[in-house]
Amino acid sequence: MRLCDYLDKGASLGGDAPCLTIDGATTTYAEVQQRSRLIAGALQASGIAPGQRVAVLSANDPLALTCVFGISRAGAVWCPVNPRNEAAENRELLDLFGCRCLFFQERFARLVERIRGDLPELTTLVCLDGEVEGAATFADWLDRHGGEPAPVTVADDDLCMLAGTGGTTGRPKGVRLTGHNMETATALTLMSYPFGDRPRYLALAPLTHSAGVLTFPIMAKGGETVIMPAPDLGEFLRLVQRHRITHAFLPPTVIYGLLDHPALDSTDLSSLRCLWYGAAPMSPTRLTEALRRIGPVMGQLFGQTEAPNMITTLAPADHFLADGSVATARLSSAGRPTPLTTVAIMDQSGNLVPQGQRGEIVVRGPLVMAGYHENPEATAEVSRHGWHHTGDIGYLDDDNYLFIVDRAKDMIITGGFNVYSAEVEQALQAHPSVQDSAVVGLPDDKWGERVTAVVQLRNARHAEPAELAAFVKERLGSVKTPKQVEIWPDLPRSKVGKILKAEIRDQLAKGT
């Protein structure tokens, strides 16, 4: 299936049904479908051939998402660009992808101006919502070129999406995702979580990432996507109640904020069937609180850009035992491998290890990308021994639940012992005053590396560093106890909410 086929599937279930909603304004499936056809025709008339790359630089917006379906209908390749990236990173990605066309919002005109001069292949610029020098307005561009697109034939292994991995660990790489990859991700979503007819999905997280990919199964069921242009937890709660939202996705850090929001307990959340969480580990203590206060609707997903969203899942029902009690031991897992995905644990020599033994998490199946764009060396490295290497350290228990204990690069060796930072972070986040934490290793003359924790406290809560160290020691013992605890007002995060440990190490090393 092409990306536009999910839209067409939803339209076949009723063209007059609501498709995309923002600020109370709704467009139907028939309207979104027709506009995507005009966009596809305009792209073809602008010289965009099948297989060529078209970028979208926008905050969450219905027209920007409609452009994605137009790009697909024209046989072109969607390149989502995160507006929170630095200009240099976006320029590098657009250059790597060889983008010929860029749709963008007026608010990002200065960013576009900074990068367009270095991109000679970028010949078509279209501003979605305003007038910018050197770019066509969307309305004028569509009036000049829009029309029914010529039919395009696609194959399973044709690219539908080129996504950047982000530049926090070096030069960003382009992940080649095919129609079959996205079809697999969509099928696994529908297999793994509760869905009824016409679900209603609330998109707060960036549509350039997991939140965007999750719109495809919603559309396949003829559902409505309510789009939030900017994150606001109070508005999120109001929209859940007003629109009777059934599905949403939030990173753990945002869920922590939701749990601390004064309006949570007075909001009617009874319509929710699944609140997905992922992109980073979630504290089992706060997850237990979420199950009690938000409801038995929490659904975890674990994936990467290279294997979108659905490597393993922990469906809402899996958070509970057969007797209805919370499955406490499972809450720190990432769930079980999905039906079309094989997950194993590998040692450094390329040998698969038995259940219960730790090693790198490796993956096989149709969810895994077609490789890194124009980077055969990185592709060969990440797919050695015939498996996709996630870079995560973990183990599978006797019931085949996957436990992720750390990123391989974040493991700390202190006094000859391996300490997994995620384990220490979970212990810290069990403290009632801790909102979030990051644990890193710093050079130490005596220990080689010393376990160092940086902690963000919950609003109106207080804790002393010595108190937090003692709290961890009681649970994990002295080896894993941080020898240094810092309390910061906030933690540096990436565009998708992941804590930037490299930046934390750098600030600690500089004493800032």
Cα end-to-end distance, the chain, whole Å: 50
Confidence (pLDDT) at 512? 60
153 pLDDT above the threshold of 90: no
Query: Is residue 169's pLDDT more than 60?
Result: no
The residue behind tokens 């590098």 is 92
**Per-residue pLDDT tens digits for 316-371:** 999 999 999 999 999 999 999 999 999 999 999 999 999 999 999 999 999 999 99
- Encode pLDDT of 365-409 as tens digits: 999 999 999 999 999 999 999 999 999 999 999 999 999 988 777
Give the confidence band of 167 by pLDDT, cuts at 50, 70, 90: very low
Cα distances (angstroms) measured from residue 36 to each of 52, 68, 270, 402: 17, 8, 34, 40
Give the C-alpha separation, 137 to 141, whole Å.
6
Model confidence pLDDT, tens digit, residues 221-274: 999 999 999 889 999 999 999 999 999 999 888 898 999 999 999 999 999 999
pLDDT band at 499; cut points 50, 70, 90: confident
Residue 499 token pair: 């804590």
* CATH class label, 232-407: alpha beta
pLDDT tens per residue across span 21-80: 999 999 999 999 999 999 999 999 999 999 999 999 999 999 999 999 999 999 999 999
- Topology classification of domain 411-510: GMP Synthetase; Chain A, domain 3 (3.30.300)
| Torsion angle, alpha carbons of 116, 122, 123, 125, to 10 | -60
Q: Please tell me the CATH code under which domain 26-177 is placed.
A: 3.40.50.980
- So where are the chain's domains? 26-177, 232-407, 411-510
What pLDDT sits at residue 495?
A: 65
User: What is the DSSP code string of 403-417?
Assistant: EEEEEGGG-EEETTE
Q: 0.75 cut: is pTM over it?
A: yes
Same fold flag, 26-177 and 232-407: yes
The C-alpha atoms of residue 55 and residue 38 are separated, in whole angstroms, by 17
